[in-house]
Chains A and B, each alone.
Chain A
Amino acid sequence: MSDRLPGFSTLAVHAGAQPDPTTGARATPIYQTTSFVFNDADHAASLFGLQAFGNIYTRIGNPTNAVLEERVAALEGGTAALAVASGHAAQVVVLQQLLQPGDEFIAARKLYGGSINQFTHAFKSFGWNVVWADPDDIASFERAVTPRTKAIFIESIANPAGSITDIEAISTVARKAGVPLIVDNTLASPYLIRPIDHGADIVVHSLTKFLGGHGNSLGGIIVDAGTFDWSTGGKYPMLSEPRPEYHGIRLQETFGNFAFAIACRVLGLRDLGPALSPFNAFMILTGIETLPLRMQKHCDNAKAVAEFLAGHPAVASVNYAGLASDKYNQLARKYAPKGAGAVFTFSLKGGYDAGVNLVSKLQLFSHLANVGDTRSLVIHPASTTHSQLDDAAKVKSGAGPDVVRLSIGIEDKEDLIADLEQALGA
């Protein structure tokens, strides 16, 4: 046995999966079952008491989902992961472990519109108070820190304009404040950026996007970096204090550097309930096997399309960090040297009406509210994903009325450019 580090593509195919012990099946089986038989009463008690490794009930864990969890943990360089029903579910479960009612968390203002809604409205009713900061102004994060701050939340590549966040600079703020840095890595995927290498303590994903990659299955995941010390100062009682649900177990003491992932499973998923279907886990696992191939193609296509748009007379501006002229190009070179992702925005000289006209004329691009599909997608954020924001907030989050967002697929780039050309030209 030698200790060596296989490459990313090897991990994308193999991590977490081995032939099924019972049948020898090589592909990961779909364990479509709600529950698992105990060997005897003692085994059941050990499992319920978190003393033995094994399966109880699919709301707490499932063998298909476990393969997905280990695979994403390996790709991100984390100690453990927990798969849940959606990216939104991942965010609820993470913050439930960190915040008590009345606590605060700081979030980057540039986020997926759905996250902005979730943080502003849904979490407010839990007493979790979001404080917004500007990812282009690191000092705004420092100024937002108070004694009630329990976490900082950012996107690595930020919606909707594909801007790149300075993860290391914000992780320094988080460390100084003594709070974990949570990074939503959905738009980058670990193929482009591994936030843990830059100081993230927790990584979340919507698996629905590039990781699953085929636009057919919802899912979310939480990755524990194993880097944060939850025991100090009683600030994170879910991890540091005896848990009455489990006869007084202290999770950090018992599980060490993967205690956060365990807390998400046994306190979050178990009690809130957003379990991932094993069938979806299987679909997403199949997608992940080709992540490196797809992601490179997504990025190469996106760069070609962005360059085409930047040179088109009907286009006012293109926001793509992969363009040398873009304000985020330096950060893209540092954090995402293989490519700046495949989601970006541009604005048309003809404003709102021209945007609507473009969307209606496109033949290959699908008009829908998703990103990270094999197919190329187009949307007008101001009237859809970001429609619940007021006009000022739309502009601040990069989703002004003249903005069109693209998610570039893995078709032939010549066909994508030809489709845009005919739709822009007429």
Chain B
Amino acid sequence: MNHDAYPDNYIRGILNSVKSIAMVGASPVNVRPSYFAFKYLAQRGYDMIPVNPGHVGKELLGKPFVASLSDIDRPIDMIDIFRNSSHIMPVVEEALTLDPLPKVIWMQLGARDDAAAARAESVGIKVVMNRCPKIEYGRLSSEISWMGVNSRTLSSKRAPAPTQGMRLSLNRMSVGGGDTAASDRAAKNKSEQS
């Protein structure tokens, strides 16, 4: 997989198929991006599991925190890692010990570890790096268009008005895979320099 520019169908396929998402580094602080990504994905119907050893015994929007991936009592479709790039590898190593394996490992906006991605992909796990699933869901459903964001999708179909808790259709016509070209090039240059 080219991790500089993902085809929309790759992202769409992931968001349409996964049901349970373990969020590593989920924060109970309501101004942290992990908090509102967690909240949004829960509202869109995903089975969300907060993973953070510092908050075991507490709940995030009614879901109990667990200390680690191996403490989760059910199969996980996707692991969403809200940690810096330098903390990715141990999470991926732990993920590779799970049975069954997760189908997807997703690293948040700003996080990228190509070596960890290669290890996960070598056992058939799909990997997304430096993206936010909330933004991608909002983009492919065009809900993010309320904020003037270029969804890079078109549709001549009448969609229902989005309400809380509704799953949205992500099957709009894409106008170019992955990210916009210029912003992709900039991200690639940055990752090559670092």
Contact = CB atoms under 8 A, between A and B. Distances in A.
B86 to A, nearest CB: 16
Given A43-B164, A226-B186, A77 B181 contact: yes
Nearest to A261: B148
Given A51-B36, A54-B146, A257-B179, A70 B161 contact: no
B150 A254 contact: no
A278 interface: no
Contacts of A63: 146
A257 B183 contact: yes
A177 to B, nearest CB: 16
B150 A81 contact: yes
Contacts, number: 160
Query: Which of A6, A16, A63 is the most central at the interface, judged by chain B CB atoms within 10 Å of its CB?
Result: A16
A66 B146 contact: yes
B75 interface: no
B175 A11 contact: yes
B147 A53 contact: yes
A228 interface: yes
Interface string A131-168: 00000000000000000000000000000000000000
Max count, chain B CB within 10 A of own CB: residue among A4, A24, A67, A256: A256
A3 B176 contact: yes
Interface in B130-160: 130, 132, 135, 138, 142-152, 154-160
A417 interface: no
A246 interface: yes
B182 A24 contact: no
Nearest to A42: B164
B52 interface: no
Interface residues of A, number: 62
Contact of A265 (B110, B132, B147, B190): B147
B28 interface: no
A99 B150 CA distance: 26
Contacts of A326: none
A176 interface: no
A16 B151 CA distance: 8
B39 interface: yes
Contacts of B157: 18-19
Interface string B37-52: 0011000000000000
Contacts of A79: 149-150, 179-180, 183
A52 B31 CA distance: 12
Contacts of A93: none
A73 interface: yes
Contact of A227 (B109, B138, B185): B185
Interface in A53-77: 53-55, 61, 63, 65-67, 69-70, 73-74, 77
B2 interface: no
A18 B158 contact: yes
B12 interface: yes
A227 B149 contact: no
B149 A73 contact: yes
Interface in A245-265: 246-249, 253-258, 261-262, 265
Nearest to A71: B150
Interface in A306-323: none
A90 to B, nearest CB: 13
A74 B171 CA distance: 19
A15 B161 contact: no
Interface string B159-190: 11111100000011111110111110111001
A196 interface: yes
B150 A70 contact: yes
B135 A14 contact: no
A18 B186 contact: no
Contacts of A52: 36, 40
A51 B158 contact: no
Nearest to B164: A39
A83 B148 contact: yes
Contacts of B171: 1
A21 B142 CA distance: 12
A258 B110 contact: no
A46 interface: yes
B109 A256 contact: yes
Nearest to B148: A69
B80 interface: no
Nearest to B7: A3
A151 to B, nearest CB: 16
Nearest to A83: B148
18 contacts: A1-B173, A2-B174, A5-B175, A6-B154, A16-B151, A18-B154, A21-B161, A46-B36, A49-B30, A49-B31, A51-B36, A63-B146, A80-B150, A196-B182, A246-B31, A249-B31, A256-B109, A256-B130
10 nearest A-B residue pairs (beta carbon): A226-B183, A69-B148, A51-B36, A227-B186, A73-B150, A3-B177, A21-B161, A19-B158, A247-B31, A80-B149
Interface of B: 7-9, 12, 30-31, 33, 35-36, 39-40, 109-110, 130, 132, 135, 138, 142-152, 154-164, 171-177, 179-183, 185-187, 190
Given A46-B36, A196-B182, A225-B180, 16 more contacts: A3-B7, A3-B174, A11-B175, A15-B175, A21-B159, A22-B161, A51-B36, A61-B146, A78-B180, A83-B148, A197-B182, A225-B182, A225-B183, A226-B180, A227-B185, A254-B33
Interface of A: 1-6, 10-11, 14-16, 18-22, 24, 39, 43, 46, 49, 51-55, 61, 63, 65-67, 69-70, 73-74, 77-83, 196-197, 225-229, 246-249, 253-258, 261-262, 265
